[in-house]
């Protein structure tokens, strides 16, 4: 994309790229600033959605992390260790995950267990039922409207793969920044 095309922005409106920090978009990869702003908007919208979907499904008041952990523990009906949960969700601060797990235990949605010497977390019947109800609400409210957008599933999968690869770049940059 030429500098002139980038500066003219959406449909040539002359507003520039859609970013939250124009001074960052002036660097060598301005499209990354657009991705970052879109990711920020998407993250907040997604977190708001999962919390409200869980409430609509009849769940207790939960943080976005609690909702994510509940679904992950339910995934494939296998108990998970704290290390598994933190690895899959890319959580650096294990105490945040531990706190969320304790809250989920308090609601009776997950239960502690053991696999050898390791502590595990497993979904309870109440947790399974809540996840099933969440899936019903999700299908009724989100999948129907998202399906009407006519998005290509292969393109969505490609975008998801790109986002996962970018997360690796951000992780690597974070390690480098911590070493400065």
Three-state SS string over 21-58 comes to CHHHHCCCCHHHHHHHHHHHHHHHHHHHHHHHHHHHCC
Confidence grade of residue 6 (pLDDT, cut at 50, 70, 90): very low
pLDDT digits (tens, 9 = 90+) for 77-107: 999 999 999 999 999 999 999 999 999 999 9
pLDDT at 7 over 70: no
- Rounded percentage of the chain residues whose pLDDT exceeds 70: 92
Residue spans of beta strands (DSSP E) within the chain? 110-115, 118-123
CA atoms of 66 and 154, how far apart (whole Å): 29
Task: Provide the angle, in degrees to the nearest 10, between the axes of the packed helices 64-74 and 94-106.
Answer: 80
pLDDT for residue 28 = 75
pLDDT for residue 31 = 84
pLDDT at 10 over 60: no
In whole numbers, what is the pLDDT of the chain averaged over residues? 90
CA atoms of 121 and 128, how far apart (whole Å): 13
What backbone torsions phi and psi does residue 49 show, to the nearest 5 degrees?
-60, -50
Confidence grade of residue 8 (pLDDT, cut at 50, 70, 90): very low
pLDDT at 167 over 90: yes
- How many angstroms separate the first and last alpha carbons of the chain? 33
Calculate the CA 116 to chain-centre distance.
31
pLDDT at 70 over 70: yes
């Amino acid at each position: 994309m030429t500098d002139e095309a980038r500066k003219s922005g959406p449909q040539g409106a002359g507003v520039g790229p859609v970013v939250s920090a124009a001074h960052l978009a002036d660097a060598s990869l301005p499209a990354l600033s657009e991705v970052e702003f879109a990711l920020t908007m998407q993250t907040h919208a997604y977190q708001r959605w999962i919390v409200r979907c869980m409430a609509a499904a009849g769940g207790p008041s939960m943080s976005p992390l609690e909702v994510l952990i509940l679904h992950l523990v339910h995934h494939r009906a296998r108990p998970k260790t704290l290390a598994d949960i933190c690895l899959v969700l890319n959580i650096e601060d294990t105490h945040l995950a531990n706190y969320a797990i304790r809250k989920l235990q308090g609601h009776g949605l997950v239960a502690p267990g053991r696999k050898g010497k390791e502590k595990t977390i497993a979904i309870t019947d109440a947790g399974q039922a809540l996840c099933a109800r969440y899936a019903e609400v999700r299908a009724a409210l989100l999948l129907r409207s998202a399906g009407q957008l006519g998005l290509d599933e292969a393109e969505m999968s490609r975008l998801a793969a790109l986002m996962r690869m970018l997360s690796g770049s951000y992780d690597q940059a974070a390690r480098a920044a911590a070493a400065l």
